[in-house]
Chains A and B, each alone.
Chain A
Amino acid sequence: MVDLTTLEGKDTPGKVASLCQKALRPSDNEQVPPVAAVCVYPSMVRHAKKQVGGTAVKVASVATAFPSGQAHLATRLAEVRGAVADGADEIDMVINRGAFLAGEFSRVQDEIAAVVQACGAAALKVILEVSELETYDSIRAASFLAMEVIRPGDFIKTSTGKTSLNATLGNNQVMIEAIRDFYLDTGVAIGMKPAGGIRTAKQALQFLIAVKETLGDEWLTQRRYRFGASSLLNDLLRQVEKERTGAYQAPYYFSEAAESY
């Protein structure tokens, strides 16, 4: 359920390769499965694809002038097409918060619809950037704007991880309730991805409980729920080891992905 992510200006093919290897084999414990996806910038898609192509790990690419989305629509769509052409299996787009806050809701929705077109076969995750929408009302409204035009199996996602406030239990709850109401109304199941700020297994458990209680068992799979959180992975592995050995291991027993260099 975890998406491993590196989204930095200093990303290199080597760093992405390191991330991908961690994604494929998070731990030397054979029973630990690979992660759901690696999430990179568009220019890194082909490097990532070289590493994980043909495996269960998907390549997700942020696109649409991530993280601000402040570029012309044509540019953003071209970026999406480029990432898909390079082999991205999933696209993480950002919505046009400027338009949303200015009240141009139909424009926001039309742009999302255009990105859906540009995605082709790639799955889409729509990043609302909740910290810039600020209120729960807006988060709920933006969730519906997105859900009305994306396809079954696409996702809505809390945030880019590039602002001060990311996924919280509160905004996660607003979004999964929106997903629930949309599903009960239309029968279309939309996925959810909280991103940023979830660092420990204990936190992840709280999010999963919220999902279990609001959306039920069908959402407790990586097809419908993803954590966008890299540092969560090693804490999960620490817990797995603790369950196995009865003691917490030192952090240096777990290989790092890419986040610290």
Chain B
Amino acid sequence: MATLKKSSALAPRPRTAIKSGGTRPPGALALRPISRPNGVRASAPGGRTPPELIFGDLWEYDPAPETADPKLLRRYELFIGGKFVAPKSKRYFDSINPGNEEKLAEIALANAADVDSAYAAAHAAQRDVWGKLPGRERAKYLYRIARLLQDRAREFAVAETLDGGKPIKESRDFDIPMAAAHFFYHAGWADKLEYVAPGRRLAPLGVVGQVIPWNFPLLMLAWKIAPALALGNCVVIKPAETTSITALKFAQLLIDAELPPGVVNIVTGAGETGAAVTTHPTAAKIAFTGSTEVGKIILRALAGTGKKLTMELGGKAANIIFDDAPLDQAVEGIVNGIFFNQGHVCCAGSRLLVHEPVADRVIAKLENRLKVLRVGDPMDKNTDLGAINSAQQLKTITELVESGVAEGAQMYQPPCRLPAKGYYFRPTVFTQVTQSHRIAREEIFGPVVSVLTFRTVEEAIEKANNTAYGLSAGVWTDKGSRILKLSTELKAGVVWANTYNKFDPSSPFGGYKESGFGREGGRQGLLDYAQLV
């Protein structure tokens, strides 16, 4: 990389478009007409100290803790057949608040027998009640669930933040409203299914087994349950073991919504419980969101069973910044792309591809922006980066970051103070990264971005697609033709243009290659929960 950079730096660069003829349209001038010779950083030449802006006497933020009562129980049971039942395993595990490492509650551990009774309840409910209800009746329940979620949004947001470590502003403004939006959206579809595929009818699949991850616990639950119920399926769902609480609070909400017993069953536990859910013979379909590694295990186990499958797996998204992009806005997009939810986002923009003429400037702006990111107590309304979800994930991130340093990439972390208790990790930027570094290939699932550069559109496409994953990508440019070209040639399920991490229930989400298959949301998402007859 070092030699690559050097030779490119020596390439002649026109000083300005304006100087060299003045024939460019003003649009092209959005590009800064100044360019530094050799593309080196402003700090380098002549040993002069780099110019700095002085922001003098800034006021410190006061603590702004969210104080609403999350209404947690000390112990949560399994939710099977419309009731909370003690696990046949007779075992419980602790749910920890990653923000301060304190125990929040005890969660029941479901074994194969528990999963079996969950499937039995779901099967009966699907056969006798839910499968027979007309769509408009199912819609009423879904609308009711959505409205109850909105009613209790604050309580759910606090519970989500305590359990998962994400900043309260994200659970409050994104997770919970988005979860409600998915129920509203699919409630709208439930009585209009005959229009989805003209000439064909959509019939339910039966009982669906679902396993969801810990990064957006309630939102992933909504993505899974809402379309399944809208189409007349019943559900056995397993939340991630570190983030079961909002799912079980949601179970209480289902009781309050008077959803018929057995339509939704929630079994909690770790990998073994998940294996029992995914391999159960009653399941007509398995929907999984999680790591590619576990996804492959499920695929192997289910090969030949004829079950319908959707997999939403890992990602290593390229966020591509061209030289004509509005750089300040692009930097905000980079920050949103990789530091949203501490980078625990499968579609996180973890590989930053920057056009070489603006690379130094973008990196300088990004590092400056990092200095004012607030890392700390997830319950504080001013916090930008909360806690890493678990000690284990913190270990994974730390290990990958160490590999980045060991392999010769340049690391930058802002000098922020981290809380003494809890799992925290500084926002991290790696420069001088090459395609073969581990940090450019493996999904880190943390607040770590690897910066690579490119010179031409073709190089950007090639580098962006040089990964086993293909979930999402971002493009930042003023030029519409580039956006269109890249959106076709990037092998990614979602390509965002001049924005990042934008979601809507009507917009299908899903991957290519090892990022999985099947779509969630939109009309396409419905088809994954139905059989065409």
Is A148 a contact of B33 with CB atoms below 8 Å? Answer: yes
Smallest CB–CB gap between B128 and chain A, Å? 62
Is A184 a contact of B34 with CB atoms below 8 Å? Answer: no
Q: Count B-side interface residues using an 8 Å CB cutoff.
A: 27
Is B55 a contact of A216 with CB atoms below 8 Å? Answer: yes
Which among A104, A180, A183, A184 has the highest number of chain B CB atoms within 10 Å? A184
Looking at chain A's contact residues, the main secondary structure is helix
Q: Cβ of B32 < 8 Å from any Cβ of A?
A: yes
In the bound complex, CA of A187 to CA of B29 (Å): 21
Q: Cβ of B415 < 8 Å from any Cβ of A?
A: no
**B32 contact from A107, A135, A144, Cβ within 8 A:** A144
Is B22 a contact of A104 with CB atoms below 8 Å? Answer: yes
B198 surroundings in chain A (CB, below 8 A): none
Q: Cβ of A259 < 8 Å from any Cβ of B?
A: no
Is B48 a contact of A141 with CB atoms below 8 Å? Answer: no
In the complex, chain A residues 85-105 whose Cβ is within 8 Å of any chain B Cβ: 100, 103-105
Q: Cβ of A206 < 8 Å from any Cβ of B?
A: no
Q: Count A-side interface residues using an 8 Å CB cutoff.
A: 29
In the bound complex, CA of A180 to CA of B34 (Å): 13
Q: Cβ of B480 < 8 Å from any Cβ of A?
A: no
Residue of B nearest to A141 (CB): B29
A104 surroundings in chain B (CB, below 8 A): 22
Is A106 a contact of B21 with CB atoms below 8 Å? Answer: yes
Q: Cβ of A185 < 8 Å from any Cβ of B?
A: yes
What does the 1/0 interface line of B24-62 toward A look like (CB < 8 Å)? 111101101110100000100000101101111000000
Is A137 a contact of B34 with CB atoms below 8 Å? Answer: no
Is B18 a contact of A145 with CB atoms below 8 Å? Answer: yes
Q: Cβ of A182 < 8 Å from any Cβ of B?
A: yes
Residue of B nearest to A147 (CB): B34
In the bound complex, CA of A144 to CA of B15 (Å): 13
A135 surroundings in chain B (CB, below 8 A): 26
In the bound complex, CA of A103 to CA of B361 (Å): 27
Is B30 a contact of A187 with CB atoms below 8 Å? Answer: no
Is A217 a contact of B54 with CB atoms below 8 Å? Answer: yes
Q: Cβ of A256 < 8 Å from any Cβ of B?
A: no
Is B30 a contact of A180 with CB atoms below 8 Å? Answer: no
Q: Cβ of A140 < 8 Å from any Cβ of B?
A: yes
B42 surroundings in chain A (CB, below 8 A): 184-187
Residue of B nearest to A180 (CB): B53
Q: Cβ of B23 < 8 Å from any Cβ of A?
A: yes
Which among A107, A148, A177 has the highest number of chain B CB atoms within 10 Å? A148
A118 surroundings in chain B (CB, below 8 A): none
Is B36 a contact of A144 with CB atoms below 8 Å? Answer: no
In the bound complex, CA of A208 to CA of B21 (Å): 37
In the bound complex, CA of A160 to CA of B50 (Å): 34
B53 surroundings in chain A (CB, below 8 A): 180, 183-184, 215-216, 218
Is A148 a contact of B328 with CB atoms below 8 Å? Answer: no
Residue of A nearest to B48 (CB): A187
Residue of B nearest to A140 (CB): B30
B21 surroundings in chain A (CB, below 8 A): 106
Q: Cβ of B19 < 8 Å from any Cβ of A?
A: yes
**A144 contact from B22, B24, B34, B328, Cβ within 8 A:** B34
Q: Cβ of A138 < 8 Å from any Cβ of B?
A: yes
Is A141 a contact of B26 with CB atoms below 8 Å? Answer: yes
Which among A105, A183, A187, A217 has the highest number of chain B CB atoms within 10 Å? A105
Residue of B nearest to A183 (CB): B51
Smallest CB–CB gap between B479 and chain A, Å? 13
What does the 1/0 interface line of B348-386 toward A look like (CB < 8 Å)? 000000000000010010000000000000000000000
Is A187 a contact of B51 with CB atoms below 8 Å? Answer: yes
B48 surroundings in chain A (CB, below 8 A): 187
Is B30 a contact of A103 with CB atoms below 8 Å? Answer: no
In the bound complex, CA of A217 to CA of B32 (Å): 24
Is B22 a contact of A103 with CB atoms below 8 Å? Answer: yes
Is B55 a contact of A182 with CB atoms below 8 Å? Answer: no
**A184 contact from B16, B26, B364, Cβ within 8 A:** B364
**B interface, CB within 8 angstroms of A:** 16, 18-19, 21-27, 29-30, 32-34, 36, 42, 48, 50-51, 53-56, 328, 361, 364
20 contacts between A and B (CB under 8 A): A100-B26, A103-B25, A104-B22, A105-B22, A106-B18, A106-B21, A109-B19, A137-B27, A137-B30, A141-B29, A144-B18, A144-B29, A144-B34, A180-B53, A185-B51, A186-B42, A186-B51, A187-B51, A216-B54, A217-B56
